[in-house]
Structure 1
């Protein structure tokens, strides 16, 4: 039973890292959501303490919100001490999530009619800790109203209350941002002092040309907004909306690079490559150069094109992992399934000859073998699994070479990231920045781990998470 519980927990963590309930290349959104809902229900009912502890791991924000919602919806299923631990874990995770995600969770709690004392306290404490309540009220107005009403909280001041619930009744605001919001209704220049998402609505109302609006709002954009708008701004001939590549996280930077047309990637090769390598060095920190001889098998087959909701996501993760592994390794060899040698020009194409590439990788005599793929080995089918099985059982039974399969895609049919073979652990990956921690976690997925070891690992991660480390 302990072995089964350990396997169930590892399966759930892999799913919670990769699955977002959106369409993947081979599975629709409805299948994804149904599969994920079953997993959450199964874990919450059978292993509630382990389920809650997953909040301290590298699960994505979508699943973190689902965990918090389910725990808050079923307080009677846990003893008092467990509820206290859950409350601390949920509070810590909410502090780490983007505010729009948190406000969406509060909306879902209201829709589910979950309004117990613990829920109200969590909402109260999270709102009280927000650095700028006025900014939140302007940018996330609907979410703030839902949260305050649901937790029976009073706004921080009469002006804020008027703005949220009766904005037309007040003729004047003393708070600068609220005064600017009011001016933006009749003064075009005022909207450029507002957050981008708010200003965009006013710009449409005033009929302002899109290119002119983007150029003037550029100083107000956040880094993520700059990244999202840069391609659109380029089409409109606006050069001011430029993302700062020097500070961009590795996986986002890889996604930006792959969104560019190939000729532009070639023209900006030096800039993009330098930025990717710098981001990789930041991500690996003190581990840079300590991984010895690393050989990576990287999937750039047609299935890495992803879906309309997750465009090129598997290829983005592969490119980001390529640069991270290059920074972590003392010696590094990258083998793309397409056979290309220029990572910056990667694009989804062809079948997935993982078996051939794994054979090539083993020929380089690595100390670490890392495979980044969705697990669909189809040229020919099953060759990679057989190569890895023979290698592990006949050539490397003592496991002198560390091997791990990183899979960025959730498979609804198997309720986890699809495995290549039991001989090599598979862990889900969402961001390349998490790879060092995930490779450590892969040891628990080797297939020989007991529940005690999993609990010890989770207890350590929970303690560090609650201490903010």
Structure 2
């Protein structure tokens, strides 16, 4: 029993670390989210520290990965063997701006132990273009260097950060472009997009002119945010789903072939070698009003459901996929948040198709009528399918701050948190541990394998 409790505690944390970002959700405030997350991080770090560190090798979101690193570095006396390698490998995957914010938080908290300084120095030394960082993340880089009592290896970058009036010009093209951009309009087009935006506003450059001339310096994501004509063929599945849902219905219809083709191509990339290997698949997908998310996570739950729809289509055997939206709609390209959540009725419809796998993507608020889905699943598992011929998994894209977990539908159905549709296959795998039939030892063995693969990929 103690092993099962430990496994449940760890899976509860993993669900939170995958879904929660400390931001407002449809039914909970940002403050409630942050309080709930803070408790879980502290609880799991104190009671299951090796597993807490191993979470860095899982598909947890960047917000929680940074929190795990911060908590581990704040408590060096409790450190376990191998933590440093995990921290370094995960920091290499995080966006630079988030890492710089993390280093700033460590400095503000007075965390300056030897391990922290070594990790910060190693990460800074591995940055491919220190001059670019000095321009794009100036404050963060200065803070990190001061925290470890360091200086850039390049004297020009050091002067740019700490003695900007010392040089009248720089040999480095990026640093000199930043100097000239204060008074020379053409120089701003030699800078990164986010830095050039500020100079464009200062010089009064029309937005359309600026976007046209800065286009070669923009990343794919920046182009997508600024221009709806951006290349969709390389976008990750969930990000692409968010883009599609932000379009007016008329534009979605007009671009149906292009958008559907891009979503299916992204789903095939995400499915990889598992494409077509899942047999008969049915999906219950939540497009009720609560899938609208919140002001800071607009339509995120619906985008995850839309991404999962196309990914499950790719994973199922050809012609063996049945999607069922809670609204009853049958055109995935035109889905929008609306109405109640009749999960129970849709689950019944899905089970009648005789699937080998049933995947439910919903925030778990079954309310039309309340509790029907849980009762249907209970009777199905205990009376109609005790041999488990049909695998049922519930994936929930919304963290329930009050319950310290994602909301579940039934004790007999494993539930896993999901933030990006691309992680569906891996989350279905880890959801098996939530059924209560495996203990802590099996979960630790699984985590150890994930850590080994993660470090091998990071270091090899």
**Shorter-chain TM-score: which interval?**
over 0.9
Runs of 4+ in 1 over 6 A off after TM superposition: none
In the alignment, the residues of structure 1 paired with residue 355 and residue 193 of structure 2 have an alpha-carbon distance, to the nearest angstrom, of: 48
In the alignment, the residues of structure 2 paired with residue 42 and residue 243 of structure 1 have an alpha-carbon distance, to the nearest angstrom, of: 44
Residue aligning to 2:163: 166
In the alignment, the residues of structure 2 paired with residue 351 and residue 433 of structure 1 have an alpha-carbon distance, to the nearest angstrom, of: 27
Residue aligning to 1:30: 31
Superposition map of 1:183-332 within 5 A: 183-230=180-227, 242-330=229-317, 331-332=320-321
In the alignment, the residues of structure 1 paired with residue 392 and residue 223 of structure 2 have an alpha-carbon distance, to the nearest angstrom, of: 38
Residue aligning to 2:366: 377
Residue aligning to 1:341: 330
In the alignment, the residues of structure 1 paired with residue 360 and residue 85 of structure 2 have an alpha-carbon distance, to the nearest angstrom, of: 36
Check if 1:365 corresponds to 2:365.
no
In the alignment, the residues of structure 2 paired with residue 300 and residue 394 of structure 1 have an alpha-carbon distance, to the nearest angstrom, of: 30
Task: Indicate which of 439, 445, 452 corresponds to 1:450.
Answer: 439
Cα deviation, 1:264-309, whole Å, max 9, x if unaligned, reads: 1011001000000001001111111000000000000000000001
User: How many positions carry a matched residue from both structures?
Assistant: 455
Task: Indicate which of 393, 406, 422 corresponds to 2:382.
Answer: 393
Residue aligning to 1:49: 50
Superposition map of 1:124-163 within 5 A: 124-163=121-160
Cα deviation, 1:444-467, whole Å, max 9, x if unaligned, reads: 111222110111011111111111
In the alignment, the residues of structure 2 paired with residue 349 and residue 4 of structure 1 have an alpha-carbon distance, to the nearest angstrom, of: 38
Following TM superposition, by how much is the alpha carbon of 1:136 offset from its aligned partner in structure 2, in angstroms?
Answer: 1.1
Following TM superposition, by how much is the alpha carbon of 1:70 offset from its aligned partner in structure 2, in angstroms?
Answer: 0.5
In the alignment, the residues of structure 2 paired with residue 398 and residue 10 of structure 1 have an alpha-carbon distance, to the nearest angstrom, of: 25
In the alignment, the residues of structure 2 paired with residue 329 and residue 415 of structure 1 have an alpha-carbon distance, to the nearest angstrom, of: 33
In the alignment, the residues of structure 2 paired with residue 467 and residue 152 of structure 1 have an alpha-carbon distance, to the nearest angstrom, of: 32
SS at match of 2:188: helix
In the alignment, the residues of structure 2 paired with residue 203 and residue 455 of structure 1 have an alpha-carbon distance, to the nearest angstrom, of: 53
* TM-score, length of structure 1 as denominator length: 0.96
Superposition map of 1:404-443 within 5 A: 404-443=393-432
SS at match of 2:73: helix
In the alignment, the residues of structure 2 paired with residue 123 and residue 335 of structure 1 have an alpha-carbon distance, to the nearest angstrom, of: 48
Following TM superposition, by how much is the alpha carbon of 1:16 offset from its aligned partner in structure 2, in angstroms?
Answer: 0.4
- Which range moved further: 217-226 or 271-280? 217-226
- Which range moved further: 211-220 or 306-315? 211-220
- List gaps (5 residues or longer) in structure 2: none
In the alignment, the residues of structure 1 paired with residue 9 and residue 401 of structure 2 have an alpha-carbon distance, to the nearest angstrom, of: 15
Following TM superposition, by how much is the alpha carbon of 1:430 offset from its aligned partner in structure 2, in angstroms?
Answer: 0.7
Residue aligning to 2:113: 116
Following TM superposition, by how much is the alpha carbon of 1:77 offset from its aligned partner in structure 2, in angstroms?
Answer: 2.2
Following TM superposition, by how much is the alpha carbon of 1:230 offset from its aligned partner in structure 2, in angstroms?
Answer: 2.3
Superposition map of 1:61-140 within 5 A: 61-78=62-79, 82=80, 84-140=81-137
In the alignment, the residues of structure 2 paired with residue 286 and residue 57 of structure 1 have an alpha-carbon distance, to the nearest angstrom, of: 20
Task: Indicate which of 378, 381, 392 corresponds to 1:403.
Answer: 392
In the alignment, the residues of structure 1 paired with residue 94 and residue 455 of structure 2 have an alpha-carbon distance, to the nearest angstrom, of: 15
In the alignment, the residues of structure 2 paired with residue 117 and residue 305 of structure 1 have an alpha-carbon distance, to the nearest angstrom, of: 46
In the alignment, the residues of structure 2 paired with residue 155 and residue 395 of structure 1 have an alpha-carbon distance, to the nearest angstrom, of: 67
Alignment root-mean-square deviation, CA:
0.9
Task: Indicate which of 443, 450, 454 corresponds to 1:465.
Answer: 454
In the alignment, the residues of structure 1 paired with residue 388 and residue 102 of structure 2 have an alpha-carbon distance, to the nearest angstrom, of: 44
In the alignment, the residues of structure 1 paired with residue 314 and residue 62 of structure 2 have an alpha-carbon distance, to the nearest angstrom, of: 27
In the alignment, the residues of structure 2 paired with residue 244 and residue 111 of structure 1 have an alpha-carbon distance, to the nearest angstrom, of: 41
Following TM superposition, by how much is the alpha carbon of 1:85 offset from its aligned partner in structure 2, in angstroms?
Answer: 1.0
Following TM superposition, by how much is the alpha carbon of 1:40 offset from its aligned partner in structure 2, in angstroms?
Answer: 0.5
Following TM superposition, by how much is the alpha carbon of 1:165 offset from its aligned partner in structure 2, in angstroms?
Answer: 1.3
- Which range moved further: 404-413 or 178-187? 178-187
In the alignment, the residues of structure 1 paired with residue 110 and residue 13 of structure 2 have an alpha-carbon distance, to the nearest angstrom, of: 27
